[in-house]
Amino acid sequence: MKIGIFGGTFNPLHNGHLFLADEALAVAQLDKVVFVPNRLPPHKESPEVDAETRYEMLQKAVEGIDRFEVSRAELDRRGRSYTVDTLASFPSDLELVFLCGADAFLVDWYKLEEVMTRLTTLLIANRAGFDFVIPDQLKALPEGLRKKIQLLDFPDICISSSDIRHRIEQQRPFRFLIPEPVYRIITKSDLYGWQSQE
pLDDT at 102: 79
* Strand 32-37 versus strand 121-127 pairing type: unpaired
**Cα 151 versus chain centre, distance:** 16
What is the C-alpha separation between 188 and 164, in angstroms, rounded? Answer: 16
Q: Is it true that the peptide bond before 155 is cis, omega within 30 degrees of 0?
A: no
**pLDDT higher than threshold 90 for residue 107:** no
What residue segments make up the domains of the chain, in order of their start? 2-160
pLDDT of residue 36: 96
Q: What is the pLDDT of residue 165?
A: 96
User: Please, how many CA atoms are within 13 Å of residue 198, restricted to the half-sphere of its CB?
Assistant: 5
Could you report the per-residue pLDDT of 16-74, keeping only the tens digit for each? Answer: 999 999 999 999 999 999 999 998 776 666 688 999 999 999 999 999 999 999 999 99
Q: Place 13 in a pLDDT band, splitting at 50, 70 and 90.
A: very high
**Is the pLDDT at 162 greater than 60, yes or no?**
yes
What's the predicted TM-score (pTM) here? 0.92
CB 21 within 8 A of CB 4: yes
Q: What CATH number was assigned to the domain covering residues 2-160?
A: 3.40.50.620
Q: Average pLDDT over the chain, rounded to whole? A: 91
